[in-house]
Amino acid sequence: VQLQASGGGLVQAGGSLRLSCAASRGTFSRYAMGWFRQVPGKDREFVAGITRSGGSTAYADSVRGRFTVSRDNDKKMVYLQMNSLDPEDTAVYYCAADANAIVHNIPREPRTYDYWGQGTQVTVSS
């Protein structure tokens, strides 16, 4: 599967952005999907994930209640709605697909994921 992330940009603190990730090739509904972010000098960190069916989601503590992950398997899309953005959310955001996740599992380790998008920059100004 190939992944293409989009929707990043510059936003003021307290604002919102919606990231999108489009998948091509492969059977999208077979993949658990995750969103990760990375800032220079730090490891890539888990932000949110969603099971293959979309029935379950998981979030990092730092974003729970502010971010919402969703997917549309018919359109082969996964989304990350980000509200109440904070300058600490500034990072490059990546979507990723896990081809081997069991039905109800949402992996949080980057090394578990098989495919990655190119990343989209999110900058939150104070």
Tens of pLDDT along 66-85? 999 999 999 999 999 999 99
User: In the predicted model, what is the mean pLDDT of residues 16-30?
Assistant: 94
121 band by pLDDT with thresholds 50, 70 and 90:
very high
Bridge-partner residues for 92, per DSSP? Answer: 38, 121
d(CA 59, CA 25): 27
Least confident interval from 13-22, 96-105, 106-115: 96-105
Answer yes or no: are the C-beta atoms of 87 and 13 closer than 8 Å: yes
For residue 117, what are the contacts with CB-CB under 8 A and spacing of at least 6? 3, 4, 5, 21, 94, 95, 96
